[in-house]
Amino acid sequence: MFKGVTLSSSPVSSPAVVVFGVLQGQDIAEVLPRKLAYAADVIAASKRSEFAAGESGKIAEAFPTAEGSPERVIVLGLGKKEKVNGESLRSAFAALARRLAAIKASSAALHVSAALDAAGIKGDAGGRAAGEAFGLLSWNNLTFKGKGTDESRKERPSIVLDADKKALGKGIEFGLRLAESTNMCRSLSETPPNIATPKYIADLAKKLAKDHGLDFMVFEGKDLEKEKLTGHLNVGKASENKPCMIRLVYNPEKVSKKKSKPAVLVGKTMTYDTGGLSLKVNNGMVGMKRDKDGGCAVLGAMHAIATIIKPDRQVIAYLCAAENSLSDEAYRPDDVITYRNGVTVEVTNTDAEGRLVLADALAYTCEKDDPAYIVDLATLTGGVIVALGSTFAGLFCEDDALRARVEAAASTSGERVWRLPMHREYTDMMKSPIADILNSNPNRKAHAGQGAAFLASFVKEGTPWCHLDIAGVHVSESDGGMYAKGSTGWGVRLLADLLADA
Ligand code: BES
Ligand code: MN
Ligand code: ZN
């Protein structure tokens, strides 16, 4: 929508649009400054029936004529007092942002603090929601539009925002920066597989590390053999775009004594998933460029962690990057592979490849890093889409404390998670007659749970671990709310919030 959104550091002298936020049922006079020259116009606009008197995301407009008035005034409905929360505010501000983009407003002064106060929402929380909405709506999917696209379609307005209170402005700034990290994730996610190869992603991670003071390491070629990163070696074998495991480390200036162990983030980064020899059929392959979105989210989160969150705990990230392709060198159903922790896996389906690469990172980090906790994100199964649609990510976590923290972060960021069960019966389903475990049971039961049960074999007993299956939530099918059609950057803000609480 926007080319750029910035927060003005000093009051904008004559903003193109002045916005007043109002709650449903609230007297609009309460939110208008005293002796406002054009108060009558605003009140009249807010009484028009289509505005529904403050319903969340509804907009009423006035074009006052009094001397010194702005050209346009927008009254933004923020909904019922008791129902105002981060999610409702993000969607109300998204509606506002869409309107401001449509009218190409160059600046807007936001007077929403009075309504937020009345709803008991802190200015910085309200501002964050606005910043996220405007920031996420400034992402676009035009990178690959070429000479064949009308230049005018690529034109987008820039907007300057002005906040009526300091706390609101602080929140907006924070939200905008969270959105920037999220947008970085989305752009990488949308990058096609002929460009975004494992090497391309490693180079990007390296640049991120250099720009923001992270340690960077990549396991590729012989390193993968030396470190017995068998999943990467096998899944990535058939492609000329060779696999790699990327490791990034954020080192805080000062580590809190109580937080001496690192937090570990792991992301499935399948740059393309054809299914391998267990080839995907019909249209099942389309969109599999986004099978790297777990890794993209982890990368975006590391950006946020290094630039804005700066927790007092070390954070280690692993991106398990490979292309699941097919050739005469492809790994096959019936292969048996041995992991660095000694676990043997009978491959029954080369399309259950995500868990095979994630297993490398889980085993490696448990052995080398002594993690305080591990969170992995993966577009792991179609099964989770059947179960939860695009409404929730599937959450598997048997550690009560970690689960509570992930759920709290999810509720702050508005990226919804729903707990799914882990059970001995799922573990039993993964037993192999010839090796230790299968990568997929040929029956069609509980695919998402099978994935989690498989991964559990690579997490050291006692290490708190949370697996998020994001196959249903990483992409939006339509343009609406804060999101354009395409990648949502799901997880970046959740992980940032998780680490903000270290
Ligand atoms: N990347 C897919 C899962 C997926 C499906 C993500 C649809 C996004 C949209 C994953 O690698 C996969 O192929 N999973 C299989 C597992 C099965 C073979 C056990 C699935 O879910 O069908
Ligand atoms: Mn697959
Ligand atoms: Zn996959």
Give the pLDDT mean for 155-165.
95
The structure tokens listed for 494 are 């959740």
Mean residue pLDDT of the chain comes to: 97
3-class secondary-structure state, position 386 = helix
Is 155 a residue whose pLDDT tops 90? Answer: no
Using CA atoms, how far apart are residues 12 and 105, in angstroms rounded to an integer?
A: 13
Q: What ligand 1 atom has the least distance to the C-alpha of 451?
A: 19
Using CA atoms, how far apart are residues 27 and 31, in angstroms rounded to an integer?
A: 8
Using CA atoms, how far apart are residues 435 and 279, in angstroms rounded to an integer?
A: 23
What digits encode the pLDDT tens for the residues 361-406?
Answer: 999 999 999 999 999 999 999 999 999 999 999 999 999 999 999 9
Q: What is the pLDDT of residue 98?
A: 98
Q: What is the pLDDT of residue 161?
A: 98
Q: What ligand 1 atom has the least distance to the C-alpha of 381?
A: 21
200-210: buried (b, 16+ CB within 10 Å) or exposed (e) per residue? bbbebbbebbe
Residue with tokens 């085993």: 363
Q: Around Cβ 478, how many Cβ atoms within 10 Å?
A: 9
Using CA atoms, how far apart are residues 191 and 171, in angstroms rounded to an integer?
A: 30
Helix-, strand-, coil-residue percentages of the chain, each rounded to 5: 40, 20, 40
Give the pLDDT mean for 263-267.
99
What digits encode the pLDDT tens for the residues 323-346?
Answer: 999 999 999 999 999 999 999 999
The structure tokens listed for 91 are 């969607």
CA–centroid distance, residue 450 to ligand 3 (Å): 14
Q: What is the pLDDT of residue 306?
A: 98
Which is nearest to 112 in space by CA: 53, 173, 162, 151? 162
Q: What is the pLDDT of residue 300?
A: 99
How would residue 224 be classed by pLDDT, with cut points 50, 70 and 90? Answer: very high
Q: What is the pLDDT of residue 493?
A: 98
Q: What ligand 1 atom has the least distance to the C-alpha of 383?
A: 21
The structure tokens listed for 234 are 């096998």
Is 248 a residue whose pLDDT tops 80? Answer: yes
Is 149 a residue whose pLDDT tops 90? Answer: no
- Cβ-proximal residues to 286 (8 Å cutoff; 6+ apart), any chain: none
E strands within 204-250?
215-220, 244-250
Q: What is the pLDDT of residue 154?
A: 78
Q: What is the pLDDT of residue 50?
A: 87
**Residue of 348, 380, 426, 455 to test ligand 1 pocket, by largest number of atoms within 8 Å of CB:** 380
Instruction: Please tell me if the CB atom of residue 382 comes closer than 6 angstroms to any atom of ligand 1.
Output: yes
Q: What is the pLDDT of residue 108?
A: 98
Q: Write down all domains in the chain, each with its CATH number in brackets.
A: 4-180 (3.40.220.10), 217-500 (3.40.630.10)
Residues with CB under 5 Å of ion ligand 2 are 273, 351, 353
Which residue's alpha carbon is nearest to atom 13 within ligand 1? 351
Using CA atoms, how far apart are residues 453 and 433, in angstroms rounded to an integer?
A: 17
Give the pLDDT mean for 437-466.
97
How would residue 153 be classed by pLDDT, with cut points 50, 70 and 90? Answer: confident
Which is nearest to 125 in space by CA: 84, 65, 68? 84
Give the pLDDT mean for 410-420.
98
What digits encode the pLDDT tens for the residues 203-216?
Answer: 999 999 999 999 99
The structure tokens listed for 445 are 């039961």
